[in-house]
């Protein structure tokens, strides 16, 4: 009996009692055993040859180059799952290059998804902490268009808050609170001390005597800028920790105090050293030099400079009344008539955080969309690989069906293979994404937290992609006719 006719007879007479002898590195302890073919799901995987003897036939039929999927029917669902996963890994090893390429595409999609979302969460946590340090008892007076949502289109900006208006508001505001006037001069200053100098990225702020308390700064050494120095124009300065590290390496505070530094070629005497403030996003709390407000007006005077007014209340419960009072006072400072609208705005730290949350929600949606597009490409690639695999394994599928495998067995095997490839890609993508998120968060000065939710999302998305990508190839494999498959060359 030739091989093909024998296999056909197996399909027709599947209950024939046969003896099977398995050899070549076989792990079965008893190589001679009896079985009924319907007890087999697929052909054995731990050898490449089997001898099949009919009872009384002295010439066994040798079937060589058997497919990689062979096992006894497991007795439980868990065992069946483990066996299918094992078979999937064997198939992946047989087509390792194609599997790796698809796996990498999936990994990059998951990395983009997990990495960006992790970084956003870290930055949000850092901003929340920074804004919380300002307290719920603080609000700011800014010109219209510079407040929350000020960057939106078609939003008319009000006139800048001048130096004289800011000072007048401080003098006229009669409420249990501290009022601070400040302004940023530049973010590109170079600070020098003898031969040492900083990079041209130092922030120079003009402040008054209330600024440190309102902005939440503390001093490690020295003293604050006094009222007379702030509005009289004395050349004194407070410096941050990052500036000290650059121009005073390995120098104690006593030697730093009273030293003369140059800020963009203008001399200042150091009277105080700021404690570490930390950084968040574009805010660099330690890479700064604070000089008297009047000095900043002279050194960095710009036509459109708008000064910042910050108000810190003694009692946070009075914030609504304090804002109403501030509106009335500043309308008088601006000289607005009763019928005129306010050309300035009041902002609170909690409102700023809400705006940040709203904007990052759009970034999240864009990130998810980008990740989905990448994974769609990976899904198409995976489906193509699985279709090629079905074509290459047509004869194998025919043999497995001929000895009793059902459509369900074939379907589950190919689906498992697709899902395993996706999960391997997802695992690599999660590792790369968490690492990328950690790096971006630290680079921007955020607070990193392990993104369990996004990791779970990555695993879920990979499972869905694998299921959808493998479904059509698995159905195609399950529907193959065993007789026609055995004739396939």
Give CA–CA dist 109/128, Å, rounded: 29
Q: Supply 315's token pair.
A: 């009692």
Look at residue 106 and tell me whether its pLDDT is greater than 80: yes
How far apart (Å, rounded) are the C-alpha atoms in residues 337 and 441? 48
pTM score, whole prediction: 0.51
Helices within 208-337 (DSSP H only): 211-215, 227-232, 241-247, 253-256, 293-299, 319-334
173-183 confidence digits (pLDDT tens)? 998 889 999 99
The 10 Å Cβ neighbour count of residue 201 is 13
**Distance between CA atoms of residues 240 and 272, nearest Å:** 9
> Whose CA is closest to 147, among 23, 7, 270, 327?
327
H/E element, 289: strand 288-292
pLDDT score, position 339: 85
What local confidence, expressed as pLDDT, does residue 300 receive? Answer: 82
* Token output for 350: 């909690």
Residue 220 CA to residue 51 CA, distance in Å, equals 86
3-state DSSP assignment of residue 378: helix
With beta carbons less than 8 A apart as the criterion, state whether 302 and 254 touch.
Answer: no
For residue range 20-67, what is the model confidence (pLDDT) as tens digits? 333 333 333 333 333 333 333 333 333 334 444 434 444 443 343 334
Contact 18, 402 (CB under 8 A): no
Closest residue by Cα to residue 88 from 464, 470, 437, 349: 470
Q: What is the mean pLDDT of residues 357-370?
A: 77
**Model pLDDT, residue 108:** 85
| Cα gap 387→394, rounded to integer Å | 11
Helix/strand/coil for 121:
helix
pLDDT: which is higher, 351 or 107? 107
Distance CA 60, CA 252 (A): 92
108-165 per-position pLDDT tens digit: 888 888 888 888 777 777 666 665 555 557 888 988 876 555 444 455 778 889 899 9
Mean pLDDT of 186-199: 90
262 C-beta neighbours (distance < 10 Å), count: 15
Region 387-394 average pLDDT: 85
Q: How far apart are CA 307 and CA 247, in angstroms?
A: 29
pLDDT in tens, 200-231: 989 999 999 999 988 888 899 999 999 999 99
């Amino acid at each position: 009996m030739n091989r093909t006719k024998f296999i056909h007879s197996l399909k027709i007479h599947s209950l024939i009692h046969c003896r099977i002898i398995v050899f070549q590195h076989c792990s079965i302890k008893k190589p001679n055993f009896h079985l009924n073919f319907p007890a087999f799901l697929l052909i054995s995987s731990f050898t490449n040859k089997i001898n099949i003897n009919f009872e009384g036939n002295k010439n066994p039929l040798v079937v060589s180059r058997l497919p990689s999927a062979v096992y006894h029917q497991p007795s439980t669902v868990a065992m069946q799952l483990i066996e299918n996963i094992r078979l999937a890994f064997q198939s992946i090893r047989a087509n390792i290059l194609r599997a790796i390429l698809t796996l990498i595409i999936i990994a990059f999609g998951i990395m983009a998804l997990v990495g960006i979302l992790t970084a956003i969460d870290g930055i949000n946590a850092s901003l929340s902490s920074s804004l919380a340090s300002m307290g719920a008892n603080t609000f700011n007076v800014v010109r219209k268009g510079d407040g929350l949502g000020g960057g939106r289109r078609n939003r008319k900006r009000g006139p800048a808050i001048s130096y004289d208006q800011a000072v007048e508001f401080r003098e006229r505001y009669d409420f249990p609170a501290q009022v601070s006037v400040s302004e940023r001069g530049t973010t590109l200053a170079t600070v020098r001390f003898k031969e040492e100098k900083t990079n041209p990225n130092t922030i120079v702020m003009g402040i008054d005597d209330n600024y440190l308390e309102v902005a939440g700064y503390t001093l490690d050494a020295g003293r604050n800028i006094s009222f007379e120095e702030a509005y009289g124009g004395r050349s004194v300065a407070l410096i941050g920790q990052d500036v000290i590290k650059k121009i005073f390496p390995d120098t104690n505070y006593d030697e730093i105090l009273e030293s003369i530094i140059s800020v963009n070629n203008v001399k200042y005497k150091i009277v105080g050293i700021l404690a570490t403030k930390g950084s968040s996003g574009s805010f660099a709390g330690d890479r700064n030099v604070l000089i008297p407000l009047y000095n900043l007006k002279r050194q960095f005077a710009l036509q459109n400079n708008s000064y910042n007014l910050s108000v810190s209340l003694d009692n946070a419960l009075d914030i609504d009344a304090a804002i109403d009072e501030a509106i009335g006072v500043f309308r008088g400072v601006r000289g607005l008539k009763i019928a005129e609208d306010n050309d300035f705005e009041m902002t609170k730290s909690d409102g700023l955080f809400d705006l940040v949350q709203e904007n990052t929600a759009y970034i999240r949606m864009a990130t998810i969309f980008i990740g989905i597009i990448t994974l769609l490409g990976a899904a198409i690639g995976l489906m193509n690989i699985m279709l090629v695999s079905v074509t290459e394994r047509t004869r194998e599928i025919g043999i497995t069906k001929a000895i009793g495998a059902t459509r369900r067995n074939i379907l589950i095997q190919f689906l498992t293979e697709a899902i395993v490839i996706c999960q391997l890609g997802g695992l690599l993508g999660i590792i790369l994404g968490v690492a990328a998120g950690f790096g971006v968060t630290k680079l921007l000065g955020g607070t990193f937290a392990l993104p369990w939710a996004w990791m779970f999302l990555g695993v879920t998305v990979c499972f869905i992609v694998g299921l959808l990508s493998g479904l059509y190839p698995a159905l195609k494999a399950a529907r193959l006719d065993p007789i026609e498959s055995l004739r396939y060359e």
